[in-house]
Chain A
Amino acid sequence: MENHFFLDAGIPPQAPPLHFGSSLSDWQSLPSAMEMEMEIQSQDCFPTGYGLRYESAMVSSPPASNCNMSSESLMMRKLTGNSGEIPHHSQPMLAASSCYGTPMNSPPQLNLPLPRPVALDSSVADFSADPGFAERAAKFSCFGSRSFNGRTTQFGPKDSVEIAAYRSNPLAPNAKLPRVSSSPAIKQRVAQVGGTNNRSELAISQEESTVSEQNPEPGFKGSNSRKRKAVPKAKTKETSPSPSPNASKVTEPNGASNEKRCKLSESNANENGSGKSEEDAKGSSTRALEPSQDYVHVRARRGQATDSHSLAERVRREKISERMKLLQDLVPGCNKVTGKALMLDEIINYVQSLQRQVEFLSMKLASVNTRLDFNVESLMSKDTFQSNTQQQQQIFPINSSAASAFLGHQSQQNPPLHSNIANGTMTQCSVDHLDTAICPKLNQFLETVSQYPTFCEGDLETLVQMGFGQNQSQEMALHSQNFQGLNQVSGMKVEL
C-alpha cells in the first residue's frame, strides 16, 4: 500500500538510498548521530536546492533539538522552523515527500526510527494543494512503520471536503484505521494548517502529544511520561495558551477520539501511560494508584492493541508490578530476586516464617510466664514497649531482682518475687525441656528465628548501659552483676 504512494510520485522506490554516500559527508559536522541520520535522510531526498535550505534550517536547529526527543518530533520541530521557507519549494516537495515514502519500504536499510516525518512539515503548506501529501504527511507523522501498515489511502480527490469534515467532526474515527486513529488527528492538523497556516497552531497540533514535553521544556517529557494526554485538535486553541501548566494534566474533552490516540514519541513507547476509561471523563490525569479519581486514564501504547480490555489489563499489570516493588522493600533479601514468581515465593516464605515466629513466641510466652507475677500495669502505663530506652528504665528494678536471683542476692524491691524468681530460674531450665517436648516444631522455629536478628544481646547491653547512666553508684555493683547475669541469660536464650 505504501508503494502506490511512490507510484503516484513517479519515483522509483529504490532511488533514495543511492544518494546516501554523497550526502554523508555534509552531515558529519552535526552534533548528534540521530540528527545526522535524519538529516542524511532528508538531504538524501532533497536533491534540489531545497535540500540546502533544509540543511541550513536543520543545522541551525540542532542546538534546540533535544536528543531525548523522538525522531519525528525532532523533525517536526525542525520542519516547523523551516516551514516559513516551504512555500518556495512546492515542486521539490513532491520529490521530497515521495522520496520519503521510500524509506518506509526499506526501513532496515536506513536504520532510522522515523525517516518519514522529515518531509512532513516541508510539505505542510502544500497540503491543501496536494492531497496526496496530506495523506502521506498524515502517515508520516504517525509514528512509524507499524502504524503505517494499518493504513490505507484515505485521502481521495475530495481532500478539502474530508478535511473540513474532519475538522468539524474530530471525533469521528476513521473506519479504515482500526488500530490507531492518529491519522485523523493528523488530518485535522493538516486541515487546520492548510486552512489557517497558523504556525503556532500547527506546532501545537502537530506535537499534540509531545506538546507537553517540547513546548515548555525538553526535559519535561521524562517526568510527564505517565501523564501525557493528547490535546485534541478542536481544542488546540484552548490549550495553546497554557500548554505547560496543563501538560501534566491535559484533559481529554473528546474521550472517544482520545481513546485510540497513540503516543507520538517512540522514546515513550515503552513507558506506561496512565489508565483511561472509555467514558468521556474530564479531569486531571492521575496515576494509576491515586484513588481520588473515578476513572483511571490510560493512554494506548504505540503498536499495541487499543481495545478497552487490553488497556484495562495493562493498567492492572502496572498496578501489580508497583505493588510488587513495594513488597520488595518490605521483605528483606528480595532485592536480588528478579521476576514476579520468585519474588512471590520469597514473600510467601517470609510470611510463613513470620507466622511461625508468632506461634513460637506465643508458645514461649505460655511456657515462660507461668511462674511470673509480672507487674504488667506499670509497664503499660509507662509505655514500656515503645522504645528500648523506656524498657531499660522500667526493667531496671526487675533486672536487679533477676540478677539477685541469679546470684543469690536478696532484693528489697520485690520480695514476693523471690520465690518466683528462684522458681523462675529452675523453670527456665525446665522450660527448655518442656519446649522441645511439647512442640517438636520449636526446633524449626529456632532455625527460622535465628535467621532474623534477635533482640537479645545488643539490646540488653544497651539496657544496662542506660541503667548505668541513670542510677546511683550503690547500684553500680548490681548493674555490673546484672550485666553478667543478663549476658548469661541472653546466652541461654540464644541457646534456646
Chain B
Amino acid sequence: MDSQLLNPTSLKSRFTARFLRALTKINAPNPISSSSPTPREIFQRYRRIKVAADKSMAYSVRSRTTWSRATLSRLRTRSRHRRLASFGPRSSVTTAAVLKKTSSHGKENEGGLGVQAGELRELVPGGEAMDLCNLLDETAHYIKCLTTQVQVMKTIANLYSLE
C-alpha cells in the first residue's frame, strides 16, 4: 500500500470527521470508571450513535441528493418532535401530505417493476416522491454513501475494540 493521502475533502473524510466528533460527544458524558453499562444505556447510546452516523453522512452530502435532504428533515423533525411533543405531529403530517401529493405523478412508468420499486422507495429515504428514474439515481448514490459509512464505522469499531 502506498502512503498517499486520500482526498481530504472526499465524502469519506468528511463523514469520518463528523462522525468521530459526534462519537466523542456521545462518549464524553460517560464516566470512564463506571461499571459495565446496563443494556438500556447501551441501547440508548446505540440509538444516538446510529442517528449520529446518519446525520453525519447526510451532512457530508449536504443537499445534493434527495435522500440526504429527506434524512436531514426527518432527523430534524424527530428531534423537534421529541423536544416539543405538542408540535411534533403537525410537522410530520405536513411532510407526509406533501409527499403524498408529489408521489402520485411520478410513478406512472414503472412497467412491471412496481413491487420492487415500492420496496426500494421504502428503503431509500425520501424515495416516495420520486419516479423510478430518479429513484435509481438516488439509490446509486445512497449505496455509495452507505458503503463508505460501513467501511468507516467498521474501522472505528475495530480500533475501539483493539484497546
Chain A residues packing against B (C-beta within 8 Å): 313, 316-317, 319-320, 323-324, 326-327, 330-331, 340-341, 344-345, 347-348, 350-352, 354-355, 357-359, 361-374, 376-377, 379-380, 383-391, 395, 398-399, 401-402, 405, 417, 419-421, 424, 427-428, 430, 434, 437-439, 454-456, 460, 462, 466, 486, 489, 493
The answer to whether B136 touches A366 (Cβ under 8 A) is no
Q: How far apart sit A438 and B161, CA to CA, in the bound complex (Å)?
A: 18
The answer to whether B20 touches A379 (Cβ under 8 A) is yes
The answer to whether B39 touches A323 (Cβ under 8 A) is no
User: Could you write out 12 A-B pairs with CB less than 8 Å apart?
Assistant: A323-B133, A341-B116, A345-B116, A347-B120, A363-B49, A364-B157, A366-B45, A366-B46, A383-B6, A399-B162, A438-B43, A438-B46
Q: Is the interface of B mostly helix, strand, loop or mixed?
A: helix
> Across chains A and B, which 8 residue pairs bring their CB atoms closest together, nearest first?
A344-B116, A366-B46, A323-B136, A366-B45, A361-B153, A354-B146, A362-B50, A362-B49
| A313-B109, A364-B157 known; A344 vs B140 contact (CB < 8 Å) | no
Q: B23 near A: Cβ within 8 Å? A: yes
- CB of A317 to closest CB in B, whole Å: 8
The answer to whether B153 touches A365 (Cβ under 8 A) is yes
Q: A351-B142, A362-B50, A455-B155 are in contact. List 14 more A-B contacts (CB 8 A).
A: A330-B140, A340-B112, A345-B116, A366-B45, A366-B48, A366-B49, A370-B37, A374-B27, A384-B16, A385-B12, A389-B2, A389-B3, A405-B163, A430-B36
Q: B66 near A: Cβ within 8 Å? A: no
Query: CB within 8 A of A420: which of B32, B140, B149?
Result: B32
Among A327, A372, A430: residue with most chain B CB under 10 A:
A372
Q: How far apart sit A330 and B141, CA to CA, in the bound complex (Å)?
A: 10
| B33 cross-chain contacts in A, Cβ below 8 A | 419
The answer to whether B143 touches A351 (Cβ under 8 A) is yes
Q: How far apart sit A234 and B154, CA to CA, in the bound complex (Å)?
A: 65
| B39 cross-chain contacts in A, Cβ below 8 A | 434, 437-438
Q: How far apart sit A395 and B156, CA to CA, in the bound complex (Å)?
A: 11
| A331 cross-chain contacts in B, Cβ below 8 A | 143
| A319-B133, A362-B46 known; A368 vs B143 contact (CB < 8 Å) | no
| A330-B140, A380-B20 known; A370 vs B119 contact (CB < 8 Å) | no
Chain B residues packing against A (C-beta within 8 Å): 1-6, 8, 10, 12-13, 16-17, 20-21, 23-24, 27, 30, 32-34, 36-37, 39, 41-43, 45-46, 48-50, 53-54, 109, 111-113, 116-117, 119-120, 123-124, 132-133, 136-137, 139-140, 142-144, 146-147, 149-163
- CB of B134 to closest CB in A, whole Å: 9
Q: Which residue of A has the minimal Cβ distance to B36? A: A430
The answer to whether A358 touches B146 (Cβ under 8 A) is yes
Q: How far apart sit A369 and B24, CA to CA, in the bound complex (Å)?
A: 10
Among A361, A398, A438: residue with most chain B CB under 10 A:
A361
The answer to whether B36 touches A387 (Cβ under 8 A) is no
Q: Which residue of B has the minimal Cβ distance to A342? A: B116
Q: How far apart sit A323 and B132, CA to CA, in the bound complex (Å)?
A: 10
